[in-house]
Structure 1
Amino acid sequence: MKQSEKLDLILQTLYELRVTGQPQFLKTICENSGVPLVSRDELYILAKRLENDNLVECHYIGAGVMAILNSYGIEYCEEDSYSYKGTPLIMNTYNLTISNSPQANIVSASTGVSVQNNFQGELKHKINEFRKLVAEDVNVDETQKQEINECLEEVESALNAGRKPKFSFKQLSELASNVAGVSSLLLQIGQMIMSQPG
């Protein structure tokens, strides 16, 4: 997984936890977001990058790092991302239910409003696309392909039960970290999972 993708996943989680108003341990955020960390040094590198970019305030406590998103970080998440410059990391969506309304076209023509009607279908499509890329990669051995498929099944099972598959997604991220061409798709899946309620 690229550093930019790790930074995006950390920022996304901090953005979702900003309502608590409390600093969060970055190690826990990485574990729950599916960010594979190599070492404590890498955690400090990621924290320093976010701090130097003036997106978070960090507190270094013993062997750990706590961070909280600042105002610039919130704005950054809503307008940009490390992986896709100019594309918001957080999409502000509005859940609307419109019944028997001839004026529904007003909503679809409004700026900054998106109507989501097939979120689960899109997530399932991304997971199937990910599964296909792994299956077609000749550099991935059959044992690893089987383990990745088992993780994907656990992710789908948790989603079908209305739960966020944090730990199975983390395991999936670690297993697929050396599979070529899937990191951006994995990031998209992770962002979709994290944006779900529950």
Structure 2
Amino acid sequence: MMTNLFSSFDPLSSIMSLPLNWTSTLLGFLFLPHLFWAMPSRWGIFWFSLTSTLHKEFKTLLGPSSAGGTLLFVSLFSLIVFNNFLGLLPYVFTSTSHLAMTLALALPLWVSFMIFGWVNHTQHMFAHLVPLGTPGPLMPFMVLIETVSNVIRPGTLAVRLAANMIAGHLLLTLLGNTGPSLSLSLLNFLVISQILLLLLESAVAIIQSYVFAVLSTLYASEVN
């Protein structure tokens, strides 16, 4: 049962041992080029206003001296939200439901932030390990706690995104598998519930992309 349940997340499609399912990560780029040459549309205006709002918010979090870094986090949000939405389409592989994908996004960002902070702002990074006003006897314990909480950051980022994507897809799969055994009246109720769940998953796709990008921005702002 569990093998069949999670088989929808397995990258099984391959030609000559090449995992083709991971190419779904690049499908989001197909929606971007037309924004640069097509006539303005509602979708284009919406996407421009969304990215402009994110740029302003990330610039506030990073500070005026690092405003140019917002491009990285807006691009990160775009990549994740495209993959989250594409995963809601039938027969499209959801790459963001795998830790291999989410950890590959979170870990290099965190490592680069740590290297930059410890090389350029060593005293500032040491100061972060001991909160202001901590009593002397508690300082070793606070350093240990802050170090552990810092080290697990990329893992929490990756697991949060992957777990939220998996949970919704599993619920849709479980309810969908009960369809053939239901009566017509219950089947109508199942279709309505599936539509409502799809709407909820669409909201989760946006929220989790936003949370991932904002937390990455906050982690970057701490090393300045």
TM-score (norm 1): 0.29
User: Under a length normalisation based on structure 2, what TM-score does the superposition of the two structures give?
Assistant: 0.27
Structure number with higher strand proportion = 1
Larger-Rg structure: 2
Higher relative contact order (CA 8 A, sep 6+): 2
Decide which structure has greater helix share: 2
